[in-house]
């Protein structure tokens, strides 16, 4: 199998590195100017350096030599048997249109994360392809001073969903070989979307820490500072309604902290808040400003989608709509405008529950 990574930021380069380490040929496709200097450096030198500081990696260092490093969409898309889209979810529409002329039958398109973006790609790609959506990444880390990539955290369990659902076994056969932790499945892409932790903690973390972020001059550590007992109460109130929505689509209720423990900790007997605090201790600094993707992406793409589905189920969306309204006020722009909704994804206003159930499985 050959892999094309679309998106050469932190997550893209980290997952490309882990694939390369496993012996797979990897292509890097750059579609934006973000981290452009480091990408240009990689292209000139033909490789990039990686330090794996996870417990599993043990500080191992190695160089990654991609088979193809390019901005040429055609060559990159045709290279891969599996295409991993690791841009922000707000770029899904752009990427879907960009790659659609070159996608071929039989490819697997993996969206990391998804937020039900498969339904956007289906609008533009008319080939017989299979989609997989992840709720988060298998590994975390970041580009360090445009000189190397540091892998700092490994999720012991990484769940994915497949569209159409009937093709789950064939995707499992591929992904479980590529990433040791990626051998768990969700029922469908809606379950993956609503278990995306970013939809909950990113907006809440910034919203309740806005003044601290602006006052701290870059010395803010969100996961260590933001989630005090009172803020945790907000997350738990969010979860009550979220689980009602998940149950309406045949999913088992699972709150944020239990889901985080399942992803982040080998030993499931440990208290979930202990796991969360441990994860916080290993997390990176930031964000250092309010106008951040934690609001610009996760509010319209995540909460916008959630609210549109939750209203159809009859769940209370007052907390989520409050977060959207206050986040919009913080940024001085309407985050509801252009938000991802189930109506947009399905291309009609009069959406019924059965329409959603069909779209996320077939």
3-state secondary structure of 152: strand
Q: Identify the pLDDT of residue 146.
A: 86
Distances (CA, A) of 36 to 20, 40, 84: 21, 6, 19
pTM passes above 0.85: yes
Mean pLDDT (10-residue bins), the chain, 362 residues: 96 97 97 86 96 90 98 98 97 98 98 97 97 96 92 94 98 96 97 96 97 95 96 96 96 94 94 92 89 96 98 96 98 96 97 97 96
Would you call 189 exposed, middle or buried from its count of C-beta atoms within 10 A (0-12, 13-18, 19+)? buried
SS3 86: coil
Burial of 266 (0-12, 13-18, 19+ CB in 10 A): exposed
Instruction: Give the H/E segment covering residue 135.
Output: none
- Which of helix, strand or coil describes residue 155? coil
**DSSP tag of 164:** S
Domains 2-194 and 198-351 share a fold: no
At 95, list the tokens. 């990427």
CATH number for the segment(s) 2-194: 3.40.50.720
Q: Which CATH architecture has domain 198-351?
A: Orthogonal Bundle (1.10)
Domain ranges of the chain: 2-194, 198-351
- Which pLDDT does position 190 carry in this prediction? 98
pLDDT at 256: 94
Non-local (6+) Cβ contacts of 267 within 8 A are: none
Residue 7: the pLDDT is 96
Residues 6+ apart with CB under 8 A from 156: 181, 263, 264, 265, 266
List all residues 6 or more positions away from 32 whose beta carbon is below 8 Å from its beta carbon.
7, 87, 91
Q: What b/e sequence results for 317-327 when a residue is b if at least 16 CB atoms lie within 10 Å of its CB, and e otherwise?
A: bebbeebbebb
Give the model's pLDDT for residue 4.
98
């Amino acid at each position: 199998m050959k892999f094309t990574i679309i998106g050469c930021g932190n997550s893209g380069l980290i997952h490309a590195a882990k694939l390369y380490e496993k012996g797979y040929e990897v292509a890097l496709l750059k579609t934006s100017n973000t981290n452009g200097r480091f990408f240009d450096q990689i292209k000139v030198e033909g490789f990039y350096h990686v330090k794996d500081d996870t417990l599993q990696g043990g500080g191992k260092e190695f160089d990654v030599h991609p088979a193809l490093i390019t901005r040429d969409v055609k060559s990159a898309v045709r290279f891969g048997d599996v295409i991993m889209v690791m841009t922000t979810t707000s770029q899904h529409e752009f990427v879907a249109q960009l790659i659609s002329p070159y996608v071929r039958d039989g490819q697997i398109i993996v969206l990391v994360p998804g937020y039900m973006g498969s339904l956007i790609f289906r609008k533009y790609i008319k080939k017989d392809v299979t989609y997989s959506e992840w709720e988060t990444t298998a590994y975390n880390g970041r580009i360090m001073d445009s000189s190397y990539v540091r892998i700092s955290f490994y999720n012991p369990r990484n769940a994915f969903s497949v569209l159409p659902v009937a093709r789950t076994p064939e995707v499992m056969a591929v992904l479980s070989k590529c990433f040791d932790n990626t051998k768990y499945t969700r029922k469908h892409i809606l379950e993956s979307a609503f278990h995306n932790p970013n939809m909950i903690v990113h907006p809440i973390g910034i919203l309740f820490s806005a003044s601290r972020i602006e006052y701290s001059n870059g010395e803010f550590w969100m996961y260590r500072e933001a989630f005090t007992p009172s803020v945790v109460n907000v997350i738990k109130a969010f979860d009550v309604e979220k689980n009602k929505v998940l149950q309406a689509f045949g999913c088992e209720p699972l709150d944020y902290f239990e889901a985080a423990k399942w992803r982040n900790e080998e030993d499931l007997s440990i208290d979930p808040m202990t796991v969360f605090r441990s994860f916080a201790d290993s997390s990176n600094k930031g964000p250092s400003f309010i106008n951040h993707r934690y609001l610009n992406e996760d509010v319209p793409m995540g909460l916008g989608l959630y609210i549109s589905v939750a209203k159809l189920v009859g769940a209370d969306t007052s907390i989520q709509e409050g977060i959207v309204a206050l986040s919009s006020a913080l940024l001085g722009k309407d985050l509801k405008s252009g938000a991802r909704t189930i109506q947009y994804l399905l291309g009609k206003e009069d959406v019924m529950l059965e329409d959603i159930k069909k779209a996320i499985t077939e």
